[in-house]
């Protein structure tokens, strides 16, 4: 049984004999954290959306020519007409006012804070619900395993990475949402599997499952009105961060808890390849953020260096274009 002190310190130790999860094996002596930062992020996102809808006040700001507000019984919380926002949410003007990612404002009006504020805004109820389900499904288990500091760092830095990459390519549209941060958690899950390869069972199946989930979401990201570049930036940031902050002792070190008393375990806690992966990932992170930020605030247009990269976010077809 966990003591009161264990819980107050943020985690409890795993009971002996408990069957480890196939994706997150936990051995005797490892701490299992009590998640709280992911629920805080969950509540924060919902609170910001409520504030956004209050500020939007569709009935007061929408004319008959624009159409009828959806859910007028909600009063000032009513949604914009569907032809303006099919996701059941506020207007673009409201999102811009409250901190949406807008290239012009970030670069020329020195509002770099939008790189972070945009990840707390959502375009509508549909957008919010989809992201919050993903946050709880992915984030809760990760925080339980790795603690609030590391998961908060992955979430926030991945959101920032997604915003930076998005701003380098997208200049004429606003962007909001936590998708970059959520893709960062997926990326961190993948790199965590790779760097902690020795402690996993069914490791190939786990990697293939994660790659399939990521691939499906990336393919959906080429649809119009979806900022797939934020997804890609968040995923790459989280993938690199996973090698840095989610490294765990290798299998031999873990198993020392099951050795008879008096046994001499001289193996090192981490393997050489783990340190190499961490060093490479950290170097790429620093370079990536430094170059990305420098290009962004210089006003560089990354499309000039990569003429086909815009297809990563939207692919035009006979049914839609990518200009609007």
Q: Tell me which residues are annotated as active site.
A: 179, 231
Tokens standing for residue 2 = 């966990």
- C-alpha 15/C-alpha 1 separation (Å) is 8
Strand partners, 270: none
Do you know the residue count of the chain? Answer: 324
Cβ atoms < 10 Å from Cβ of 25? 17
Distance CA 234, CA 61 (A): 34
Q: Going by DSSP bridges, is the β-strand pair 11-13/31-33 parallel, antiparallel, or unpaired?
A: antiparallel
Q: State how far the Cα of 170 lies from the Cα of 118, in Å rounded to an integer.
A: 14
Check residue 44 and report its DSSP letter: H
**In the numeric block, which tokens belong to residue 66?**
């624009």
Structural contact between residues 39 and 18, judged by C-beta atoms closer than 8 angstroms? no
Nearest to 132 by CA among 72, 83, 75, 181: 181
Q: Which of 133, 103, 138, 98 is nearest to 118 (CA)?
A: 98
Token pair 């790429």: residue: 284
What is the maximum span of the chain, computed from C-alpha positions, in angstroms? 82
């Amino acid at each position: 049984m966990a003591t009161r002190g264990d819980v107050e310190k943020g985690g409890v130790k795993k009971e002996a004999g408990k069957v480890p999860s196939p994706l997150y094996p936990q051995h005797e002596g490892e701490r299992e954290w009590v998640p709280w930062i992911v629920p805080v992020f969950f509540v924060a996102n919902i609170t910001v959306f409520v504030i956004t809808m209050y500020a939007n006040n569709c009935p007061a700001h929408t004319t008959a020519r624009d159409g009828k507000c959806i859910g007028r019984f909600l009063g000032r919380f009513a949604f914009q007409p569907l032809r303006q926002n099919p996701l059941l949410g506020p207007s673009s003007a409201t999102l811009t006012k409250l901190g949406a990612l807008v290239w012009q404002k970030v670069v020329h009006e020195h509002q770099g804070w939008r790189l972070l504020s945009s990840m707390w805004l959502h375009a509508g109820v549909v957008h919010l619900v989809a992201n919050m389900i993903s946050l709880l499904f992915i984030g809760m288990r990760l925080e339980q395993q790795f603690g609030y500091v590391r998961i908060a760092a992955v979430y926030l830095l991945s959101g920032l990475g997604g915003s930076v990459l998005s701003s380098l390519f997208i200049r004429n549209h606003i962007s909001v949402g936590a998708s970059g941060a959520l893709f960062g958690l997926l990326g961190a899950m993948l790199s965590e599997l790779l760097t902690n390869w020795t402690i996993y069972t069914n490791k190939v199946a786990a990697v293939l499952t994660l790659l399939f989930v990521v691939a499906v979401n990336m393919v959906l990201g080429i649809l119009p009105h979806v900022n797939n570049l934020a997804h890609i930036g968040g995923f790459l940031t989280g993938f690199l961060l996973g090698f840095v902050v989610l490294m765990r002792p290798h299998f031999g070190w873990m198993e020392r808890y099951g050795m008879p008393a008096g046994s001499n375990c001289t193996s090192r806690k981490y393997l050489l390849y783990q340190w190499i992966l961490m060093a490479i990932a950290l170097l790429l992170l620093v370079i990536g953020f430094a170059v990305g930020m420098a290009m962004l605030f210089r006003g560089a247009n990354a499309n000039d260096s990569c003429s086909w990269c815009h297809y990563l976010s939207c692919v035009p077809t006979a049914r839609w274009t990518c200009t609007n």
